[in-house]
Amino acid sequence: MTDKYQADPIIDAFLDDLWSTKGLSDNTLASYRTDLRHFERFVLTKKRQLINVDQLLIRDYLAFRVEQNFAKSSTARLLSSLRRLYGYLLVNEHIAVDPTALVESPQLVRQLPDALSEAQINSLLDEPNVDDPLECRDKAMLELLYATGLRVTELVSLTLEQISLRQGLVRIVGKGGKERLVPLGELAVTEVEQYLVAARAELLGNKQSDVLFPSKRGQMMTRQTFWHRIKLYALRAGIHCHLSPHTLRHAFATHLLNHGADLRVVQLLLGHSDLSTTQIYTHVAKARLQQLHSEHHPRG
């Protein structure tokens, strides 16, 4: 089965529909494809097909994942993929009953993102040597990332036309094709200006590109490459705590809240469609809120 396996065309039809109607990113679609193919392989071992799956078979697969020690977060994402697939099949009348309707998602412990302190962020941002074209680019990227809270994928795919240094704004098309305008701040504007004048042309050589931050080969940088660059500067700055590709995005949100920013403003800047997604950051503002309460409340 593994050597001759060919995915059911329903999977590609479903993903094409998601791409055209929801505007999901390539990374998200690839995750859906992987999840659904893994599930289909399990279904085929039971002599069934995707179109005639029932609730019991889905529960069997979830139990199998528990036995195989899959992470709860991964299983929750898998179940989300299945819900969307069978919702699509139901709407298009390929099935009469949604087999996922009564299947409960695994209970997740919400993971709080790690956030660097402001002192650590300053050390990280000061680390690149702006006399080196590559590090001058990295300095501008780090400053822009911390100033805007962009996702790393959004950062590396930025084009020249998306940024206005005169207005101090960057225009982002995020998840689901939703557009947002995010202010840059003076330091980020200064660093991007310096990079454009001193380093970008040297990185491109004779190549033409509309990518704002090209790689040393003159192409769009991958998010993995930039993640390795972040780890390099963190190591040089003596920062040894756990980091993730969204480290500066987390710091952006938590530091804004620490300084009294409104949660809904942070939600808009991050491009979260649901306020509950942003609320994960409010734990970092707890100490500040308690301090404000004691200082200003008449019975504090």
The 3-state DSSP class for residue 81 equals helix
Question: Could you confirm whether 46 is annotated as catalytic?
Answer: no
Question: Could you confirm whether 249 is annotated as catalytic?
Answer: yes
The catalytically annotated residue of 84, 139, 200, 249 is 249
How many other β-carbons are positioned within 10 Å of the β-carbon of residue 34?
A: 13
Domains 9-91 and 118-241 share a fold: no
How many other β-carbons are positioned within 10 Å of the β-carbon of residue 115?
A: 23
CA distance 172 to 158: 8
The catalytically annotated residue of 200, 229, 246, 255 is 246
CA distances from 266 to 270, 271, 275 (A): 6, 8, 9
For the chain, what are the domain ranges? 9-91, 118-241
What pLDDT does residue 2 have?
46
The catalytically annotated residue of 84, 139, 250, 272 is 272
What pLDDT does residue 275 have?
57
Q: Which superfamily does CATH assign the domain made up of 118-241 to?
A: Intergrase catalytic core (1.10.443.10)
What pLDDT does residue 167 have?
92
CA distance 27 to 246: 15
The fold of 9-91 is DNA polymerase; domain 1 (1.10.150)
CA distance 62 to 153: 31
Instruction: State the burial class of residue 297 (Cβ atoms within 10 Å of its Cβ: 0-12, 13-18, 19+).
Output: exposed
For residues 246 and 113, is the Cβ–Cβ distance under 8 A?
A: yes
Question: Could you confirm whether 293 is annotated as catalytic?
Answer: no
Which stretches of the chain drop beneath a pLDDT of 70?
Answer: 1-3, 106-115, 175-176, 262-263, 265-266, 268, 271-297, 299-300
Residues written for the chain: 300
Location of structure tokens 């409010």? 282
The catalytically annotated residue of 65, 84, 137, 151 is 151
Q: Which residue in 120, 139, 266 sits closest to 196, CA to CA?
A: 139
**Contacting residues for 157 by C-beta, under 8 A, at least 6 apart:** 211, 220
Rg (CA), the chain: 23
What pLDDT does residue 25 have?
75
Question: Could you confirm whether 246 is annotated as catalytic?
Answer: yes
The catalytically annotated residue of 175, 180, 231, 283 is 175
What pLDDT does residue 296 have?
62
For residues 15 and 34, is the Cβ–Cβ distance under 8 A?
A: no
Cα dihedral 199, 204, 210, 214 sign = negative
